[in-house]
Amino acid sequence: MDVADKTVIVAGGNGSLGSVIAADLIRRGARVASIDLHPPVAGGSTFFAQADVADEEAVTAALDAIAETFGTVHALVNCAGSIHSEPLVNLMAAGRRRHQRSTWDSVLRGNLTTTFVLGAAVAERMAASRTKGVIVNFSSIAAAGNAGQSAYAAAKAGVEALTAVWARELGPLGIRVVAIAPGFVDTPSTRAALAESTLEDLKRRTPLRRLASAQHIADAVAFAIENDFVSGRTLAVDGGLSI
């Protein structure tokens, strides 16, 4: 799919990673609609709908507004979510020493339920309008099982499972589904979630000896959208860390 003159939704499009993806798609000629809980920091050419994409009613309202402005949606980038680290058991913690159920629920809602709710709603509209579109979900290297990230790893593994299931179900309708699994990306959210010593260790363990840039991930998203014979797969963009 050539993204020029196509309508692309970027969920989480105002975040440190999503905003770079949105800007890159705009440069490639796409009409980009951002859906995010938080309004953009600065103005731009991206249409913005404020919504919690784990809320079905909010998603319906946002998609209606986007359809009224742009018409048919051709692609969705499911980039909403956030990193969370928490060990299953922490014997050094005061009080409760095991992983909090509340954070488990919150992390799965923010990283997996969001993907399901918005992906299902967009897929329904694509199918009803006979649009041959593409859904790009966001997994992570954590899906393989990062120590200290029970909830986040489970959520991202779930995203990869959804990607495979949807590719099988929606492929006959002309809708492709692809997942991007970044390694560690040099963004403010990554630096807020991980200590500098941890990041330096990750660089040493990565064959390319550096973190990804947000633009590396944006390039992968563009590839997933533009290559019409890629579906059902998770594309690792991790500098070789997972090999």
How is the beta sheet containing 234-237 ordered, strand by strand?
A: 47-50, 31-36, 7-11, 75-78, 134-138, 176-182, 234-237
Q: How many angstroms separate the CA atoms of 235 and 40, rounded?
A: 28
219-229 mean pLDDT: 98
Query: pLDDT tens digits, residue range 202-216?
Result: 888 889 988 889 999
pTM of the model: 0.93
Give the count of alpha carbons within 13 A of 5, CB side only: 0
CB of 151 closer than 8 Å to CB of 141: no
For 94-141, what is each residue's pLDDT tens digit?
888 999 999 999 999 999 999 999 999 999 999 999 999 999 999 999
144 pLDDT tier (thresholds 50, 70, 90): very high
Kindly provide the residue ranges of all beta strands, DSSP E only, lying in 12-69, ordered along the sequence. 31-36, 47-50
Q: Six-digit token pair at 16?
A: 């440190």
Is 189 noted as a catalytic residue in this protein?
Answer: no
Spell out the domain ranges in the chain.
7-237
Tell me the three state secondary structure of residue 128: helix
Q: For residue 89, give the 3-state DSSP assignment.
A: strand
CA distance 234 to 243: 14
The CB-side HSE value for 165 (13 A sphere, CA atoms) comes to: 10
CB atoms within 10 A of CB 234: 17
Residue of 78, 139, 142, 152 with catalytic role: 152
7-237 falls under which CATH superfamily?
Answer: NAD(P)-binding Rossmann-like Domain (3.40.50.720)
